[in-house]
Every structure is written in C-alpha cells, then in structure tokens.
Structure 1
Amino acid sequence: MEPWELRRAVEAGRATASELGLQVDDVVVINNSDRVVLRLLPCDALARVAPSGHLVDSEFEVEVARRLADVDAPVAELDPRVGPRVYLRDAFAISLWTYYEPVGSEIAPADYADALMRHHAALRQIDLDAPHFTDRVAEALREVNDREQSPELSDSDRELLSDTLSGPSAAIGLEKAGDQLLHGEPHPGNLLRTRRGPLFVDLATCCRGPIEFDLAHAPEEVGKHYAGADHGLIHRCRALGWAMFSAWRWRRDDQLPDRDHWRAEGLNQVRAALDRCGRG
C-alpha cells in the first residue's frame, strides 16, 4: 500500500481491535503488500487489513480457518477473544488472528512435508465450496492477455506466460481423480515456526486440485518426503505456479514490494521450471 493508504489501514486495524476490547498502544507493520499484516501490542493480536474490495476473500479466509480449527489442522487460528468474522471500517476489511512468536531456525524439509500432509488430511475432513486451481489459472491468463492490465510486459514474455498458463494447466486440469482441497500457496512465507510446530497462514488461497500443486510451492526437497507424490507433476505445477506469480507481478496496479526484482525473477523461474519439464 502507498504510505497514505497504509496509515489509514493501520488506524482501521488499531481502532477495530480497540473497540472490541483489546488494548492497543502500539502497532508494528509485519507485511505491506496489497493488504497489510499488523501486530497489535500489548494485546498481541495479529490484524490482517485489506481494502474492502477484498471483502469476499477475507470472509472466505476466515471461514476456512474456522472450519480447519475444528479438525486440528496445522494452521494459524483466529483470535479467540473476538468474534470469528471480518470487520469493516473506513473502506477496509479487518480480521483478527492469534500472534505466534517465531521460534527455532528454518523448517527442515521432512517437517515441512509432515505439516503439509497433516494439513491435507485435515482439508479432506471439511466440506467447503472452493474454486478449482484452474479457475485461478484462467484469471491469471486473462491478466496476461489483456495488454491494458499488463502494459509493460514484452511480447515475447507475454507469449511465454500465455503458453505456460494455457498448456500445462489444461493437461493437469484433466487429471481430477485425485483432486482435493488444497492450501493453494503453501510456500515458506506462509509457514510459521511456532512453539506448536509449523503452522500455515494465508488461507484465502484455498482451492481444489492435486496435492502436487501445493508441493510445487514448497522447496524442492519437501516433495521427496511426501509419500506418494508424483514428481513429474510437481515440476509441471511449479512452472504453472511461477507463471501465475509472474502474471500478478506484471499487473499495472500490483503493489508487491521490490516488484521489479520479482518480475524478472518470476520469468527466470518459469523458464527454469519448463527446462525441468523437458520443455525449455
């Protein structure tokens, strides 16, 4: 968010928590992108604040978290001191979560795989109306093919992303026998190191698809510890995932920090992933 919008988002998060009876004397910005993540002190709550245009996504995320809490999934929980809902204030959608103090070092691949297997097992226990991953791919493809939405994307890179999003997606989408609910983006930035063990966050990306689509977002070594995973399919999904990531980065209104770096890195990763598939 731009500085002026960030100030409003911080105030909306602070005021909402205060009105709900939580003591907020200080606010620490943990992440600032298209939505912001705030640590509220001394109540030690975590506020996720998004423009109200993301209300549907925020409500979906809260519903996913609420249902997964009932089946003991390894996910971050909503703050139990307030209602499990999304609050609207000053054109922002605000949800309040438990804050977890980071502990330990980097999560080992075997532990990462174990957390993801337990998460997948929990997801199989809930009934939720979630989009198929191919719906998200189709959305990314529309962004790439719309020159007004991605005016700075070169013709050659546009062709690369378009071909990658339409080719592997169509092939993977036909193999639906093993589809289930997924996290959607369980990359290392969405896995916390806590005293309870690894916990997944950012649940709004929940979708349906093969477990390999999730594994493609994790470090490569993780897949080797996940029993029954199709490693060829992981490589195909990884190319697709990086193409989707790149599509979002080339949007005219994308606000990811250090966007220019990630634009270049995303395209490089697409090419590398296609090489691994024998398509480069």
Structure 2
Amino acid sequence: MEPLELRRAVAAGRATAAELGLEVDDVTVIHDSDRVALRLTPCDVLARVAPAGHLADAEFEVEVARRLAAAGAPIGELEPRAGPRVHVRDGFAISLWTYYEPVGSEIAPADYADALRRHHAALRQTDLNAPHFTDRIAAALREVDDAGRSPALSAGDRRFLSDTLAGLSATIGRDRTGDQLLHGEPHPGNLLNTKQGPLFVDLATCCRGPVEFDLAHAPEETGRHYAGSNPALIHHCRALNWALFSAWRWRGADQMPNRSHWRAEGLTRLQAALARCGRR
C-alpha cells in the first residue's frame, strides 16, 4: 500500500480491535501488498486489512475458515473474541484472526505433504461454492490479451503468454473427474510452522481443481510424499503457476516490489518449467 493508505489501514485495524474490547498498545506490519497483515499486541491478534473493494473476497475467506475449522482442517483460525465476520471501517474490510508465533525450523517435505493431505480431506467434507482454477486462467488471459491492461508487454511475449495459458488450461482442465476443493495457493508463505503444527493461511484463494494444482505450489519434494499424485500433472501445473505469476506481473496496476526483475524472471522460469514438462 502507499504510505498514506497504509497508515489509514493500520488505524482502521487498531480501531476495529479496540471497539471489540481487545487491548491494542502496538501494531506491527507483518505483510504489506494490496492488503496488509497486522499483528496487534498485547491482545495478540492478526488483523487482515484490505480496501473495501475486496469486501467480497474477505467475506469468502472468513466463510472458508469457518467451515474448515468445523471440519478439523489444519488452518490458522479466526479470532474467537471477534466472531466470524468482516468489519468495514473507513473504507477498509477488516477480519481478525488468531496470531500464531512461528517456529524457526523449516517444514520437512513429508510433513508438508501430510498437512496438505489433511487439508484436502477436510475440504472434501466442506460444501462450498468456489470458482474453478480455470476461472483464474481466464482472468489472467484478460490481462494478457488486452494491451491496455498490460501495456509494457511486448507483442512476442504477449503471444507466448496467451498461447501458454490457453494451452495449459485445455491440458489440465480437460478431465475434471478428480477435481475437488483446493487451498488454491498453498506455497511456503501460506503454511505456517507453529507449535500447533503446520497451519495453512490465506484461504481466499480456495478453488476447485486437481490436487496436483495445490502440490505445484509446494516445494518440489512434497509431491513425492503425497500418495496417488500424478508427477507429470504436477509439472504441468507448476508451469501454469509461472504463467499466471507472469501474467499478474505484467499488469499495469501490479504493485509487487521489484516488479521489473520479476517480470523477466517469471518468463524465464516459465520457459524452464515448460521444457521440463515437454512443452516449448
């Protein structure tokens, strides 16, 4: 967020927690992008604060968390003192979550796979209307195919990204018989190592698709510990992830730090991923 917007977001998060009777003496910014994550102390609450335009996404995430907690999923849960709801204040959508002190050790691939397997089992018990992962591809194609939305993208790279997204969508999305609810982006930044064990966070990306789509976000060794997964499909999904990543970076409105580097790096990694799964 821009500095002024960030200050307003911090103030809105602090005021919302205080209004609920939670003691807030200090606020630490843990993550800052299109939305921010704030640690509020001494009440030890995590506040997710996004512009009010993201209200529907915030409400969806809260509903996903509520249902998955009931199913026993390994997730970071909502703050019980705040209730399962999104608060709107000063142009921001605010949800309050339990804060988990991170444990320093890295999550081993077998433990990562076990957490993902348990998460998928809970998702299969959950009745939730979520988009298909191919909807995400369609959104990326709208950005890539519209020069007004991605003005810095060269004609050659535009064709490459467009053809790759469309081709991988057809390949991966052709057979939907094994599709189920997924986390959507269970990369290492969204799996916390806590005293309670590994817990998934950032649940607004929940979508439908094959489990390999989730496994492609995890460290590569993880798939080898996930029984029944298809290694070739994981490779295709990993290439798709880099295609999606690249599409978002070339948006004129993208605000990722060091964007110029990641625009070039994303295309390079996409080409390497395509070569690995036999596509050029």
Aligned equivalents of 1:34, 1:139: Cα separation in 2? 17
1:136-195 CA-partner distances (Å, limit 9, x unpaired): 110011111111111111222212211111001112111101000000000001000101
Deviation at 1:248, TM superposition (A): 1.1
1:96-122 CA-partner distances (Å, limit 9, x unpaired): 000000113111111000100000000
Query: Which residue identity lines up with residue 247 of structure 1 in the other structure?
Result: A
Identity of counterpart residues, as a percentage? 76
Aligned equivalents of 1:14, 1:256: Cα separation in 2? 25
1:251 aligns with 251
Which aligned pairs between 1:180-199 and structure 2 lie closer than 5 A? 180-199=180-199
Q: Helix, strand or coil for the counterpart of 1:244?
A: helix
Please identify runs of 4+ aligned residues in structure 1 that moved more than 6 A. Answer: none
1:98 aligns with 98
Query: Which residue identity lines up with residue 32 of structure 1 in the other structure?
Result: D
| More deviation, 178-187/167-176 | 167-176
Q: Helix, strand or coil for the counterpart of 1:193?
A: strand
Query: Which residue identity lines up with residue 13 of structure 1 in the other structure?
Result: G
Aligned equivalents of 2:191, 2:74: Cα separation in 1? 10
1:78 aligns with 78
1:150 aligns with 150
Aligned equivalents of 2:259, 2:191: Cα separation in 1? 22
2:69 aligns with 69
Query: Which residue identity lines up with residue 64 of structure 1 in the other structure?
Result: V
Which aligned pairs between 1:89-168 and structure 2 lie closer than 5 A? 89-168=89-168
Q: List alignment gaps of at least 5 residues for structure 1.
A: none
TM-score (ref. length: structure 2):
0.98
Aligned length: 280
Aligned equivalents of 1:63, 1:115: Cα separation in 2? 21
TM-score (ref. length: structure 1):
0.98
Q: Helix, strand or coil for the counterpart of 2:76?
A: coil
Query: Which residue identity lines up with residue 233 of structure 1 in the other structure?
Result: L
Aligned equivalents of 2:186, 2:178: Cα separation in 1? 19
1:2-40 CA-partner distances (Å, limit 9, x unpaired): 111111111111111111111111110001001000001
2:4 aligns with 4
Query: Which residue identity lines up with residue 263 of structure 1 in the other structure?
Result: R
Q: Helix, strand or coil for the counterpart of 1:81?
A: coil
Query: Which residue identity lines up with residue 12 of structure 1 in the other structure?
Result: A
Deviation at 1:265, TM superposition (A): 2.0
Q: Does the CA contact (< 8 Å) of 1:34 and 1:254 recur in 2?
A: no
Q: Are 2:17 and 1:17 equivalent residues in the alignment?
A: yes
Q: Helix, strand or coil for the counterpart of 1:240?
A: helix
Aligned equivalents of 1:114, 1:66: Cα separation in 2? 22
1:59 aligns with 59
Deviation at 1:269, TM superposition (A): 1.5
